[in-house]
Chain A
């Protein structure tokens, strides 16, 4: 147990809430039953941490083991800053039948070829996702375990989710990933957020979607209007709006995104402003939508009438394309204003 391992262990224990700590240490499997029992209900946390470190010394554990407990907690609680989605492109047929063992070996070999001092851990979670933890070092420094990069990937899919990656290490990671998974390149999927399951559900289309159907099931009334008379008169309209909202952004709990950004590079085209309408240059601006649950807020906009239906493709593109960053340009010089759409 060196100083670096101790620092990582302290940081990890600090992050884990007391209620979850014993469970995590139990699953870790590096301490005996008796040792775990001695730590149980030990308060305050720093005291527990000191004892835990001495137990680790007793068991002769090293950085390798400490990194494991950090990874264990991260996989179960992946709430550590922003996650960014990337998409690998141009697959060979091999990618369709890639096995974990094969992927693991290839990834480790490729990354170690590219950079000498690096510590890689690879694990499969219960939901079939593959998690990679990378601590980066360089020629002069040992891997920094306090700021690891995390990668989540489902084999047989082109999507990769990354957090804690610096620009310096980006090309190294991407090259190793692409080679190991059997693709030819990787591109930014323009989707980010704090909730990795939301990003995954959006891209892998695993959230509850509503499709038009010849025998539509009635949607559950989510927020009935207070006045029964008004409700009667408007029931059809409300149902229509709720259906439109659900078709655009998903039923019940939509994936939890925090923001969407649109870079507008379209021309200014409003009635009664001839001097600006004649210009060839676009009217530049950036629009940002932020909410603790963006898609839920947008659904509310539709059902409450704050947004007009039919919904603009700009907003429905968030779910249809699985992106939350768009650059909007006019499609062509002669096309009417309502056909502008997000570019690729």
Chain B
């Protein structure tokens, strides 16, 4: 494991060569005020395909857990080779903060351990930095040999199919890992964030998922149905009535797929999904709803998308169950996080 870690080199983001991303075929160019780069909102995305080259043991850490999403600006002088050192430093930082009297929910009178590791293979292009996983475990003061340690907090930085133009525009010594997912007490999340902010001169912000992203996820997962039963497609809206009204619509997986494939048939794009198709799919579901209830869902907000492959909530939480389709989901989230980058 140790050898593996040191072998992982942090990619230099100004490397000129690199595979062309297949994910972005047609794009709307939108120039940001900074004019440094152009951020692209894609109008089509690649169809999900299965992956099995990621270590299943490491994937197990990520699957079936509800993650809170944040975006983070590029890390200055972050080295994938220094993870052991970072573990020690973050650990020392938490101890110091604890002594200052900040309540940290690691458990009373308990020791804890910080472990940084790399999840190999969770990348799409050569320029994506490898995913960094952080685990904080508690160990009782009088630990019995072999007693199970409890993970009290975990989090990971990732970049899957990051925007090449953006990454190439960064000065050297910056590593772009824009998506930060956390699970555990908020107080620890805040500590970890503050340590990263100091160490790598970066900035964290909350990442919420707008309805367009949720719709993409819904379509992506539905597309997987023939290969891996999604069991249900559930959409949830919130209408701003007094008191607020929640509406959920759970569609039979086969019928959802039939609707999706009927929309797909008309289009000839083979390995891509266009935004137009996603829009028509959602409109198809909404108008079937409207025909029955004459209620305008557009007056409210899409809050949640769930299938047995995963669920996503508009407040920025996500759970991935079907790990074989993890990459397209992370690509989408990386893209969201990158759109938040100050330029």
Interface residues of chain A, those whose CB is within 8 Å of chain B, are 262, 264, 266, 268-270, 273, 275-276, 279, 281, 283-294, 296-298, 300-301, 304-308, 311-312, 314-315, 328, 337, 340
Q: Contact between B251 and A306 (Cβ–Cβ < 8 Å)?
A: no
Question: Can you list 7 A-B pairs with a CB-CB distance of less than 8 A?
Answer: A270-B287, A285-B252, A287-B249, A289-B246, A289-B247, A297-B245, A298-B241
A284's closest neighbor in chain B, by CB? B252
Among residues 248 to 300 in chain B, which have CB atoms less than 8 Å away from a CB atom of chain A? 248-252, 255, 258-259, 262-263, 265, 284, 287-289, 291-296, 299-300
A279's closest neighbor in chain B, by CB? B258
B239 contacts partner chain A, Cβ-Cβ < 8 Å: yes
Q: Contact between A290 and B292 (Cβ–Cβ < 8 Å)?
A: no
B244 contacts partner chain A, Cβ-Cβ < 8 Å: yes
**Which listed residue, B251, B284, B296, touches A285 by the CB 8 Å rule?**
B251
Cβ of A285 to closest chain B Cβ, rounded Å: 4
- Which applies to chain B's interface (DSSP): helix, strand, loop or mixed? mixed
**Which listed residue, A264, A288, A294, touches B248 by the CB 8 Å rule?**
A288
Cβ of B205 to closest chain A Cβ, rounded Å: 31
Q: Contact between B248 and A275 (Cβ–Cβ < 8 Å)?
A: no
B242 contacts partner chain A, Cβ-Cβ < 8 Å: yes
> Within the assembled complex, what's the spacing in Å between the Cα atoms of A288 and B259?
21
Q: Contact between B262 and A307 (Cβ–Cβ < 8 Å)?
A: no
Cβ of A128 to closest chain B Cβ, rounded Å: 32
Q: Contact between B288 and A270 (Cβ–Cβ < 8 Å)?
A: yes
B236's closest neighbor in chain A, by CB? A288
Q: Contact between A315 and B293 (Cβ–Cβ < 8 Å)?
A: yes
List residues of chain A with CB within 8 A of the CB of B250: 285-288
Interface residues of chain B, those whose CB is within 8 Å of chain A, are 239, 241-252, 255, 258-259, 262-263, 265, 284, 287-289, 291-296, 299-300
Q: Contact between B243 and A307 (Cβ–Cβ < 8 Å)?
A: no
Q: Contact between B292 and A301 (Cβ–Cβ < 8 Å)?
A: no
> Within the assembled complex, what's the spacing in Å between the Cα atoms of A285 and B239?
20
**Which listed residue, B244, B245, B255, B284, touches A298 by the CB 8 Å rule?**
B245
**Which listed residue, B263, B287, B296, touches A306 by the CB 8 Å rule?**
B296
**Which listed residue, A264, A276, A287, A300, touches B242 by the CB 8 Å rule?**
A300
State whether A306 and B291 are in contact (beta carbons under 8 Å apart), knowing that A273-B284, A287-B248 are contacts in the complex: no
> Within the assembled complex, what's the spacing in Å between the Cα atoms of A53 and B292?
57
Q: Contact between A284 and B251 (Cβ–Cβ < 8 Å)?
A: yes
List residues of chain A with CB within 8 A of the CB of B258: 276, 279
**Which listed residue, B242, B246, B249, B287, touches A290 by the CB 8 Å rule?**
B246
> Within the assembled complex, what's the spacing in Å between the Cα atoms of A130 and B3?
76
> Within the assembled complex, what's the spacing in Å between the Cα atoms of A136 and B246?
37
Q: Contact between B292 and A262 (Cβ–Cβ < 8 Å)?
A: yes
Cβ of B108 to closest chain A Cβ, rounded Å: 25
Most chain A C-beta atoms within 10 Å of own C-beta, residue among B258, B263, B288, B296: B288
> Within the assembled complex, what's the spacing in Å between the Cα atoms of A304 and B242?
10
> Within the assembled complex, what's the spacing in Å between the Cα atoms of A312 and B291?
9
Q: Contact between A285 and B255 (Cβ–Cβ < 8 Å)?
A: yes
> Within the assembled complex, what's the spacing in Å between the Cα atoms of A52 and B114?
52
Cβ of B234 to closest chain A Cβ, rounded Å: 9
A290's closest neighbor in chain B, by CB? B246
